[in-house]
Amino acid sequence: MMLVSPAAGGIRCFILSQFRHFSKSRLPLITTDPFHPNVNEVIDVRTLKEFKEDHIPGAVNLPVLSDLERHEVGKLYSQDSFKGRIYGAELVTKNISQMIHEYLIKKPKEYSPLVYCWRGGQRSYSVAVVMAQIGFDVYVLEKGYKTYRERVKECLNEMPGKFTYKVLSGPTGSGKTFLLSKLSALGEQVLDLEGIANHKGSVLGAEINGTQPSQKWFESQIVEKLRSFNLEKVVWVESESVRIGNVHVPQTLHKEMGKAQHFRINLPMEKRVQHILKNYPDYIENFQFTKQKLMKLKSYHSNSKLSEWISLGESGQWTQFVEAFLTEHYDPSYSLSQSKNFKSPATDIYLDSLDPEHVQSFLHTLISDPVDGALSEVKDKMSAETHDLF
């Protein structure tokens, strides 16, 4: 069968003519499982705008209507439903032909996708029927994205309670995110909420050149990560407030984190300052942006205090700026936050530095100890070279 490029005329006739060679009994399979085990790819046929807000992780976006086309069809449909359907069918068949020509033609006979749209099924089923007639084993998600979203909510209510968590807490600059990355490199299960949120969880935590995900996409990624974890293994996570920038940690997950065993990292102020200067270079190079963030703290600090911090930054006294900001803003705020998040006492860990060799040895020992009572062994083992880590 030879495929031609889409053209304004003859597209619908072309598709229909090809169907003469296909089995009339072959139809899409309907499923309510957005994570169906027989599927080897997920196709989201909604508009790019819908897709960007949230989608099934790993899905490819092949819209049957663009954002503009969907708006035009909806507008016409509200005036004349029959004409709206005709116009919608014209656009959909054109776009399906384009989809076949540019994407589906490359797929093998064993290709078995799951297709979904918003909820009505018209967009997804129109694509799935064509794919089924081609010969693919294609599934359509009943009620589309709405079904997936309900599944995400169910997972967020049920899954967090199935895991055992260990939480790293500690004031800003103590290397919590750094330690999590090292744990992940050692093969440990790590749920990096700040990484998923694209935010470091503080007033200066926003990425200068990045944007945060929508709340729905944030939750989708959390569910995807939890689904990949082994229930028999510990999940390491950083202590977080309910809100990380503009997104909120799901309530059930945050509650489980608050009940978990947590280790409070204590790092000397000098090392904390060095760590921040190394990991927040954008806030130094773009101090105008930093000033804008600082001015949002007017309700928490006096104008004279804000002016003092800004003066340190503008004069390039970065070490003094960071230390002052830590001791006068971050540390008091963090202490208050932690008293709300945790009901049980923390196991204090005293690190002299975040040097790779030092951290690697410490983490291997921490991983091997299932309970905090064994931490005394770590002290005996490492005290000679780390000067009382614990």
pLDDT, tens digit only, all 390 positions of the chain: 334 434 434 444 444 455 455 545 589 999 999 999 999 999 999 999 999 999 999 999 999 999 999 999 999 999 999 999 999 999 999 999 999 999 999 999 999 999 999 987 889 999 999 999 999 999 999 999 999 999 999 999 999 999 999 999 999 999 999 999 999 999 999 999 999 999 887 666 666 557 899 999 999 999 999 999 999 999 999 999 899 989 999 999 999 999 999 899 999 999 999 999 988 888 888 888 888 889 989 988 999 999 999 999 999 999 999 999 999 998 888 777 777 777 678 889 888 999 888 898 889 888 886 444 334 333 433 333 333 322
pLDDT at 384 (0 to 100): 36
Candidates 189, 192, 173; CA nearest to 238 is 192
Distance of CA 280 to the CA centre of its chain: 21
For residue 378, the model assigns a pLDDT of 39
User: Which residues 6+ apart lie within 8 Å of 321 measured at CB?
Assistant: 309, 312, 313
H or E element: which one contains 263? strand 261-266
Residue 366's pLDDT is: 85
Nearest residue to 96 via CA among 74, 63, 73: 63
Phi-psi region of 67 (alpha: psi -120 to 50; beta: other; left: phi over 0): alpha
Query: Could you give the CA distance from residue 329 to residue 320 in angstroms, rounded to a whole number?
Result: 14
* pLDDT score, position 375: 45
Rounded to whole angstroms, the Cα distance separating 386 from 374 reads 18
Q: Which CATH number fits domain 11-153: 3.60.15.10, 3.40.250.10, 3.40.50.1820, 3.40.50.2020?
A: 3.40.250.10
Domain spans, the chain: 11-153, 159-386
Find the radius of gyration of the CA atoms of the chain. 27
- Residues 135-168: b if buried by 16+ CB within 10 A, e if exposed: ebbbbbbbbbbebbbebbeebbeebbeebebbbb
Return the pLDDT at 11.
43
Given the candidates 3.40.50, 3.30.2010, 1.10.150, 3.30.70, the CATH classification of the domain at 159-386 is 3.40.50
Measured N-to-C along each axis, helices 269-279 and 318-325 cross at an angle, to the nearest 10 degrees, of 110
